[in-house]
Amino acid sequence: MAAHKPWKKPVVLLLGPQLGAVSGVSTHLEILLRSQLAADFNLAHFTVGSEGRAEGRLHRWWRLACSPFALAAAIRARRPAIVHLNSSLNLSAFWRDAAYMVVARLCGTRVLYQVHGGDLPRDFLGGGRVARALLRGVLRLPDAIVVLAATELAAYREFLPGSCIRLIANAIDCAPLLSLPRTPRAAHQALRLIYLGRLIREKGLYELLQGLADARARGTAAQLTLVGSGPEEAGLRRRALELGLGAVVSFAGAAFGAEKQRLLGAADVFVLPSYAEGLPYALLEGMAAGNAVITTRVGGIPDVAIAGEHALFIPPRDTQAIAAAIVNLDADGAGLARMGQACRNRIARHYCPERLVHEFGELYSDLRQDAGKTCAA
């Protein structure tokens, strides 16, 4: 009598940047790969994109040309039930992602496209009639689309009526940050601001430096730690010196693990004055560590933080609003502590991995069984 074959878990091929790269998408992939989803699905990683790579322009173009064929080979070898593409809607990734979707569909694999920020569909490629038709055709290729924010969900459903689109917010490894001890800020202590992420202009960091300078000119003793690296580091260092902030702005470099937790735990306020976002992991981490928030009302941020309860919202590029928010939080010690605890409670209840595992587990199962039923939720 023939022995029964052991049950084989369906393979999900996760496409995204190199693991370990300083990237929110890489963090998302690592959380999924380490999660309890592995109990029901065989999760495998396929590297796409330039994040985490040291390569010249010629090598990059060669990699881009070869990667669709490499993906086809990986699908042939692993025979995944689902190709889960993690990207953002921007020009640098659009054509590459379209090629991946076509390859996966030609190989007979279900395709899940998760959008980590970027333009909304109606604004992408200039928003002209031909551009809209092209984008709509590409976005009809996946069996399902996952977005991070309620505003994105509404925009994609309007652009692609009848398509399967779900909202699944990011999550973080909550336990280490939620367990960080919080030392109450002494009355004489300077307000400790922290930014965590890439040092790029679009994060509003030049405006943050100007806002800090203006707040200090009003008599507020505040200091700022910038955690991360990026192309604007040298420019930000120069600007800090020009504004007379050399003694109160520190550049900590990229930080991970226990060092990142220590820096977040030593701060009072997490500041993220970005021009645009998806749902930033750094925000979730800063809130889990017990920091009140100064941020902009972009992307999925308003889904996470409520004005006055967790955060003070400011318009993008508004240095005076940044200064006013710093002054207000510095003057309200009790409110600052209350907001910090509310932030921790918010993350603990809604943004830990258990919720993420449940929602992706349901979606993966729906995609395997019947793509037509995927959007019932």
Q: What is the pLDDT of residues 14-23, one digit of tens each?
A: 999 888 777 7
Whether residues 178 and 124 fall in one domain? no
Whether residues 189 and 147 fall in one domain? no
Whether residues 129 and 191 fall in one domain? no
Q: Which domain holds residue 276?
A: 174-350
Q: How many CA atoms lie within 13 A of 310 on its CB side?
A: 23
What CATH number should be reported for the domain holding residue 271?
Answer: 3.40.50.2000
Whether residues 346 and 358 fall in one domain? no
On whether residue 5 sits in a domain, the answer given is no
Pick the closest to residue 165 from 110, 118, 114 (CA basis).
114
pLDDT band at 282 (very low <50, low <70, confident <90, very high): very high
pLDDT band at 187 (very low <50, low <70, confident <90, very high): confident
On whether residue 83 sits in a domain, the answer given is yes
Residues 6+ apart with CB under 8 A from 234: none
Whether residues 185 and 128 fall in one domain? no
pLDDT score of 1: 44
Whether residues 165 and 18 fall in one domain? yes
Whether residues 51 and 111 fall in one domain? yes
Whether residues 199 and 318 fall in one domain? yes
The one-letter amino acid code at 357 reads V
Total of domains in the chain: 2
Whether residues 39 and 54 fall in one domain? yes
Whether residues 139 and 261 fall in one domain? no
How far is 248 from 240, CA to CA, in rounded Å? 9
Q: What is the pLDDT of residues 257-281, one digit of tens each?
A: 999 999 999 999 999 999 988 899 9
How far is 374 from 377, CA to CA, in rounded Å? 7
Q: Would you state the structure tokens that stand for residue 287, as one six-digit string? A: 């809130």
- DSSP 8-state secondary structure symbol assigned to residue 127: G
On whether residue 194 sits in a domain, the answer given is yes
Average pLDDT (300-313) is 96
On whether residue 1 sits in a domain, the answer given is no
Q: How many CA atoms lie within 13 A of 163 on its CB side?
A: 26
Whether residues 227 and 302 fall in one domain? yes
